[in-house]
């Protein structure tokens, strides 16, 4: 059983502050900023491709509520909602989860560098994305 399934089943200590019939939200134990929260489905799904649309919608609505709480109760100016989907994307726990991270001007956290496409690269990528799936 994965660590987040243990959280759902109340088998390990955690700081859960939101719950409905499909999802829970709790504080991340290694926060980027205080209030950094995780929103997870109660049912185990490893990735976004696996989750039902109904459960995904519940996760998004819960993330919205958590973000509002971070702003209203913790004074966050803004927040990031982050999904690391797969090991190459930085997913460590293979139970689908959103990070809801409170942000403040000048907090020093940068998520990724930006770069430019090489000549012709954007067209090549675009054409692959619009071609019919087999």
CA-CA distance, 101 to 9, in Å (whole number)? 24
- Phi, psi values for residue 8, rounded to 5°: -55, -40
15 given a catalytic annotation: no
Cβ(70)–Cβ(76) below 8 Å: yes
H runs (alpha helix) in 1-134: 3-8, 53-74, 121-130
Provide the b/e sequence for 51-84 (b: ≥16 CB within 10 Å).
Answer: beeebbebbeebbeebbebbbeeeebeebbebbe
Query: Which of 36, 97, 104, 114 is flagged as catalytic?
Result: 97
Catalytic residues: 97
């Amino acid at each position: 059983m994965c660590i987040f399934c243990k959280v759902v089943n109340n088998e390990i200590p955690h700081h859960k502050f939101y719950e409905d019939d499909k999802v829970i939200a709790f504080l991340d134990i290694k926060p980027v900023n205080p209030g950094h929260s995780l929103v997870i489905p109660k049912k185990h799904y490893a990735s976004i491709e696996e989750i039902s649309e109904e459960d995904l919608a519940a996760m998004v609505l819960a993330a919205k509520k958590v973000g509002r709480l971070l702003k209203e109760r913790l004074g966050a100016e803004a927040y990031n909602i982050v999904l690391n989907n797969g090991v190459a994307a930085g997913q460590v726990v293979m139970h689908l989860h959103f990070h809801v991270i409170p942000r403040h001007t000048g907090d020093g956290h940068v998520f990724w560098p930006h770069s430019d496409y090489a000549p012709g690269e954007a067209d090549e990528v675009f054409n692959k994305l619009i071609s019919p799936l087999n």
